[in-house]
Structure 1
Amino acid sequence: MSSDNILEARGLSKEFRGFHAVKEVDLNIKRHSIHALIGPNGAGKTTCFNLLTTFLRPTTGVIRFNGRSIEKSNPAQVSNMGLVRSFQISAVFGTMTVLENVRIALQQRKTRWSYQFWRSQHVLRALDQRARELIDLVELTPWLDVKAANLSYGRKRALELVTTIALDPELILLDEPMAGLGHEDIEPVTQLIQRVAQGRTILMVEHNMKVIAQLCDRVTVLQSGEILAEGTYDEVSTNPAVVEAYVGGADE
């Protein structure tokens, strides 16, 4: 494994009763980059993403994170290694405030109290300063004491991202971070991802090509479970094979 790469896949395949959803995929995700995984409907993006995050076991192939094979690990194990994913559907505790949500994530990563949510207020307040710093990073300070269920959808996505950051990951995998956002929320979330990416690596599945053009250093295009093209956004967007693959179909 190259020291420049934080995540690598070699010969990655997933078969479902004779159907190859992903077939012989090789990936190199460079450290401190933003890398996109795109493709038309049925390309295998979601399956590949679930393999890389160990929510699925590959039929064949190897996945290495920081040089360590993880294809037989589970999501909790790889999270503790520093590989954390977010989901297409916002996943926050709706009945808890913004501060409480971030504090729970800090509790899991930074203290010996992991998964013990119900601590005394005195003990939990030790995490408040760092929680407030992270909340300020995503510009949610005015909503510090607002319950997550009462936030706009865009702010819920920002909260989900900051709880992901609170786990202190080296690599963040984002599953369609713009999904469900109104037009007015796309640019703020794009800028948020740019800030979050400082000193980290991000791999994202995303259908918004304008966002990919703005954010991503490198793009991998899948078609029918195989890599069709890879390069910068300008390179893949003008690749005749990629243009042909998208003609007549909408992206996921």
Structure 2
Amino acid sequence: MANEIILSASGLTKEFKGFVAVDDVTLSVRRGTIHALIGPNGAGKTTCFNLLTKVLSPTAGRIIYNGRDITKMSPANVARLGLVRSFQISAVFGHMTALENVRIALQRRIRGDSFDFWCSERVLSSLHDEAWELITAVGLTEFAMIPARELSYGRKRALEIATTLALDPEMLLLDEPMAGMTQEDVERVSALIKEISQKRTILMVEHNLSVVASLSDRITVLTRGKVLAEGDYATVSKDPRVIEAYIGVPHA
């Protein structure tokens, strides 16, 4: 199982009116690992991430998830298969409590394609315990009844992870989970990601290299839309091409 590929892309390409943002990228993510996608600004990380999660459609290439070709699937159908993503901007309902946000996500999982948010008291009660379990899992027990808009940025990100977990994903894709956080929040969310990775595969785009070093099993480095290097942190951090891409020092 540890060597099984859960998500792969081959020849992945995205062109915008003559500009190639992602250029013939091949990527393989092993089941049960934390895989980081990194690179300098403008490297094509977010575009690649959006292709993998079907927010964008590729110009060319193929994406396989759990042995199934998802290249032409909609984001919603991909999510139903267990491939779920977060976004750079925290997406929670600010006027609702943390607990209510998680319960809404649980309702979505149970009610499928229904757009009816109104449930009977019996149904809501049945979701209450599971919502509390998720709130506890992300360290928000004491903030459960506080409106989401009043939470710190880091705790909003933790809440977003809880609502994502409510969909019971097999693989979680995190888009810059540490962006804009204080060091305290970074440490809290890093610990959370490490904890949830015990039962799930994680692919993340992240700029904080200390977080990448501490969490990632494998790293893919992009630059100018292409794969520059791949391996564990010790390997890629010493690669002269990676050093040049990040700090502009030419290698011999």
How has the CA–CA distance of structure 1 residues 181 and 107 changed in structure 2, closer, same or farther, with 3 Å as cutoff? same
Mapped partners of 2:130, 2:188: distance in 1: 22
How far 1:198 moved relative to its partner? 1.3
Q: Deviations over 1:6-59 (max 9, x none)?
A: 100010001111111111110000001000000111110011000000000000
Deviations 1:43-102 (A, max 9, x none): 100110000000000000000000111111111010000000000010001111111111
Question: Do 1:107 and 1:113's aligned partners in 2 also have CA atoms closer than 8 Å?
Answer: no
Instruction: State how many pairs are aligned.
Output: 248
Q: Which residue does the alignment assign to 1:97?
A: 97
Amino acid at match of 2:137: L
Question: Which residue number in structure 2 is paired with residue 138 of structure 1?
Answer: 138
What secondary structure sits across from 2:13 in the alignment? strand
2:67 alignment partner in structure 1: 67
The corresponding residue for 1:12 is 12
Instruction: Show the counterpart of 2:181.
Output: 181
Structure 1 partner of 2:157: 157
| AA aligned opposite 2:142 | P
Aligned counterpart, 1:87: 87
SS in 1 for 2:234: helix
Alpha-carbon deviation of 1:113? 7.5
Structure 1 residues not aligned, in runs of 5+: none
Alpha-carbon deviation of 1:114?
4.2
Distance 2:127 2:113 in 1: 12
CA distance in 2, matches of 1:38, 1:61: 20
Matches within 5 A, 1:45-64: 45-64=45-64
User: What is the CA distance between 1:123 and its match in structure 2?
Assistant: 2.1
> In the alignment, residue 223 of structure 1 is paired with which amino acid?
T
- Quote the residue 1:200 is aligned against: 200
Q: How does 1:121-132 map to 2 (within 5 A)?
A: 121-132=121-132
State the AA in 2 paired with 1:33: T
- Please tell me whether the aligned partners of residues 107 and 114 of structure 1 are also in contact (alpha carbons under 8 angstroms): no
Q: Measure, in 2, the Cα distance between the counterparts of 1:35 and 1:115.
A: 34
Q: Which runs of 5+ in 2 are unaligned?
A: none
Identity %: 61
